[in-house]
């Protein structure tokens, strides 16, 4: 494939024929227009040329024009399509359809990892003897426990579940024969862990993949998942005369029907954006084809002069940071006198397949920053990014530092990674084979589908998100009480084909950002060009952005870094409002050019603070802000940044 100078990644061929291109813009014979056309204003005003503080690229990229009102579109990087052959088309179609059956996980990648493991195990007779010995010792331990538990039911178990494993917490597991069933399962699980680790010559990647997949397979056959081997299910079934199973069947049918019709899960109707979530008063003051920018109304007579711009990830709806009143980070900041702006990303469709990382930076972060600078002129901005939004913010901040743009006052990264060399279990399947396989599926549909993306995150926590939920909903016949965070989690989004391909290749696969090879406007960006203080938050139980990976920000710059490690996971650790039970965090600051401490030493030596980390962050922002002044105007009515509609806008309502 021949690429032009400005193209950043290799992509499959573009569509040449108008008949094919029409499928991008027309679905079911209807043009893909905004469903909220009645309240939609012309986006041409928003996209009108205006002096920008950031450097602009001269790149113009031709794409099919949308059907509907005039709109300024980001143009995809130009490239020449390779020669198309029937054989290549067969491969693409086959892999795209196979990927849907395998949830986007390549069988070739798994087969290679298992072949690597099996080959090295066959060449390690010492390891084989060790495994035979361990199997014998575990059998002996189980036999001794079985004999002891007959004589004394209170005999301590020979193996305990891991602290986070609650599958066997019911008292019924302490009685015969269930005690022997779950003890033998845990011993078997431990043996398989020994069998898939510490094999001489086996690559760390293959070891991690085989160990992870084997653990998932064992979780599938856990005795807690079956009626006849789970004492809690058996007891409830006898007590209710099978009523729980009938209710479970009804729950399963309801869930299947909703999934088949594309409807959200049961309970989500209790939470509606703009009513009891995403309800903090504000106005959409800017819109382009990728974002709506929301400015929130002040609730205090005076505000800090420096505004806050929040960049959420487009892998999620923004209102995780604006949940129910009392649990909203946006509401909390506004109540303490901060002027808050937040991006609401469009949920992309097939027509957005060519949107790339550069487009998200240009039409997202930089366009929003231009708007904030116009509304609150001559003031620096506190920028905050969550998850992938934090990664994009880091790229934008490094670009700004390189180009001499000093509009930022500080940068906050919430559960965000910038170095992907140790990205945790999510990175286990990011290989050339996996990315290529996933690209075929995305090319076929133009995006990564919501359910395909959600499935990947569910696999990381299959015990909690798949099997335990199956037992609770379908065998015990119960429904867990729905809350605002669960409703938000069910409000899924998509990822454009090109952007996701670039994200996986440039960041996960090649780690370009951490190695100084990430190119913006034909020049690489470097962390050292970011010269503003940074506040970074990691969460202890994060499976998406492991906190030790987030902590690597200490290796990237010599500026001031304040790091917080809070309890909870990727979402629950960030949504940690004051008064939330069982919250605690650790906080420490490394001064500019200060000595480095490794993450484990930092965690051991840093004291714990009970409660939410939100007040600590707000105090950190206040210390880096000026004396309070009168609130700024709502938008800039004399320019294109005028109030257009009430928050939460229309992009957040897209399904």
Q: Which residues are catalytic?
A: 387
Element (H, E) at 294: strand 291-296
Tell me whether residue 592 is exposed, middle or buried, using C-beta atoms within 10 angstroms of its C-beta: 0 to 12, 13 to 18, 19 or more: exposed
538 vs 203: CA distance, rounded Å: 28
Residue pair 609/280 in contact (Cβ under 8 Å)? The answer is: no
Structure tokens at 292: 């709506």
Q: At what angle do helices 204-220 and 178-195 cross, to 10 degrees?
A: 160
Q: Which residues contact 270 (CB under 8 A, 6 or more apart)?
A: 276, 482, 487
421 vs 128: CA distance, rounded Å: 32
Residue pair 492/281 in contact (Cβ under 8 Å)? The answer is: no
Residue keyed to tokens 């906080």 = 587
Residue pair 341/24 in contact (Cβ under 8 Å)? The answer is: no
422 vs 487: CA distance, rounded Å: 31
Residue keyed to tokens 């780690």 = 511
Q: What are phi and psi of 520, to 5 degrees?
A: -125, 125
3-state SS of 441-510? HHHHHCEECHHHHHHHHHHHCHHHHHHHHHHHHHHCCCCCCCCHHHHHHHCCCCEEHHHHHHHHHHHHHC
Q: What are phi and psi of 586, to 5 degrees?
A: -120, 145
Bridge pairing between strands 30-31 and 291-296: unpaired
143 vs 184: CA distance, rounded Å: 10
Closest to 288 in 3D by CA, of 34, 64, 45: 45
Burial 538-570 (b: 16+ CB within 10 A, else e): bbbebebbbbbbbbbbbebbebbbbbbbbbbbb
598 vs 607: CA distance, rounded Å: 16
Dihedral over alpha carbons 541, 545, 550, 556 (to 10 degrees): 170
Structure tokens at 12: 């499959």
Residue keyed to tokens 């084989």 = 128
Residue pair 565/603 in contact (Cβ under 8 Å)? The answer is: yes
Report CA-CA distances (Å) from 218 to 162, 165, 221, 343, 467: 15, 14, 5, 42, 11
Residue pair 654/440 in contact (Cβ under 8 Å)? The answer is: no
Annotate 76-102 with DSSP letters as a single string. PPPBPPPPP-HHHHHHHHHHHHHHHHT
């Amino acid at each position: 494939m021949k690429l032009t100078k400005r193209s950043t990644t290799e992509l499959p061929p573009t569509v040449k024929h108008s008949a094919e291109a029409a499928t991008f813009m027309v679905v079911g014979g209807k043009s893909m227009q905004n469903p909220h056309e009645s309240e939609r204003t012309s986006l041409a005003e928003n996209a009108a040329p205006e002096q920008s503080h950031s450097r602009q690229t001269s790149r113009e990229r031709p794409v099919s024009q949308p059907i509907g009102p005039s709109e300024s579109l980001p143009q995809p990087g130009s490239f020449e399509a390779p020669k198309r052959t029937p054989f290549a088309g067969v491969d693409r179609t086959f892999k795209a359809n196979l990927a849907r059956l395998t949830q986007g996980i390549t069988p070739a990648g798994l087969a290679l990892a298992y072949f690597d493991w099996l080959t090295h195990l066959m060449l390690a007779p010492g390891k084989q003897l060790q495994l035979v010995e361990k199997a014998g010792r575990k059998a002996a331990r189980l036999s001794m426990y079985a004999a002891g538990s007959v004589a004394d039911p209170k005999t301590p178990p020979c193996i305990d579940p891991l602290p986070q494993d609650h599958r066997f917490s019911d008292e019924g597991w302490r009685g015969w024969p269930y005690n022997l069933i779950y003890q033998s399962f845990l011993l078997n699980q431990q043996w398989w862990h020994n069998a898939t680790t510490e094999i001489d010559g086996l690559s760390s990647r293959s070891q991690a993949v085989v160990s992870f997949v084997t653990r998932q397979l064992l979780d599938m056959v856990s005795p807690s998942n079956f009626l006849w081997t789970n004492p809690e299910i058996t007891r409830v079934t006898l007590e209710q005369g099978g009523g729980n199973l009938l209710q479970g069947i009804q729950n399963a049918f309801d869930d299947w029907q909703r999934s088949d019709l594309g409807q959200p899960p049961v309970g989500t109707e209790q939470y509606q954006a703009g009513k009891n979530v995403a309800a903090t008063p504000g106005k959409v003051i800017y819109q382009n084809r990728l974002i709506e920018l929301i400015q929130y109304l002040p609730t205090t007579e005076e505000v800090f002069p420096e505004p806050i711009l929040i960049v959420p990830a487009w892998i999620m709806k923004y209102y995780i940071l604006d949940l129910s009143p009392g649990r909203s980070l946006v509401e909390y900041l506004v109540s303490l006198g901060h002027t808050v702006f937040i991006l609401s990303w469009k949920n992309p469709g097939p027509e957005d397949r060519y949107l790339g990382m550069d487009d998200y930076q240009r039409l997202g972060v930089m366009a929003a920053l231009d708007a904030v600078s116009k509304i609150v002129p001559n003031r620096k901005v506190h920028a905050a990014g969550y998850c992938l939004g934090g990664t994009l913010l880091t790229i934008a901040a490094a670009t700004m530092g390189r180009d001499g743009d000093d509009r930022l006052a500080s940068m906050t990264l919430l559960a965000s990674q910038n170095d992907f060399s140790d990205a945790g279990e999510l990175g286990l399947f990011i290989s050339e084979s996996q990315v290529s396989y996933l690209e075929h599926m995305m090319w076929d549909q133009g995006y990564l589908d919501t359910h395909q993306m959600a499935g990947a995150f569910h696999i990381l926590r299959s015990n909690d998100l798949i099997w335990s939920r199956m037992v609770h909903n379908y065998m015990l016949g119960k429904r867990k009480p729905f809350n605002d965070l669960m409703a938000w989690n069910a409000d899924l989004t998509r990822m454009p084909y090109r952007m996701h391909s670039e994200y996986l290749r440039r960041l996960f696969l090649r780690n370009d950002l951490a190695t100084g090879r990430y190119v913006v406007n034909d020049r690489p960006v470097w962390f050292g060009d970011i010269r503003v203080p940074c506040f970074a938050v990691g969460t202890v139980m994060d499976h998406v952005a492991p906190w030790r990976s987030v902590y690597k920000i200490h290796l990237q710059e010599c500026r001031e870094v304040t790091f917080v490690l809070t309890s909870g996971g990727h979402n629950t650790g960030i949504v940690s409002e004051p008064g939330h039970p069982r919250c605690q965090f650790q906080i420490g600051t490394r001064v500019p050019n200060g000595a480095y401490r490794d993450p484990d030493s930092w965690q051991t030596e840093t004291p714990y603070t009970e409660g939410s980390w939100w007040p600590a962050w707000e105090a950190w922002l206040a210390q880096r802000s000026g004396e309070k002044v009168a609130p700024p105007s709502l938008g800039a009515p004399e320019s294109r940044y005028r109030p257009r509609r009430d928050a939460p806008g229309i992009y957040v309502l897209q399904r």
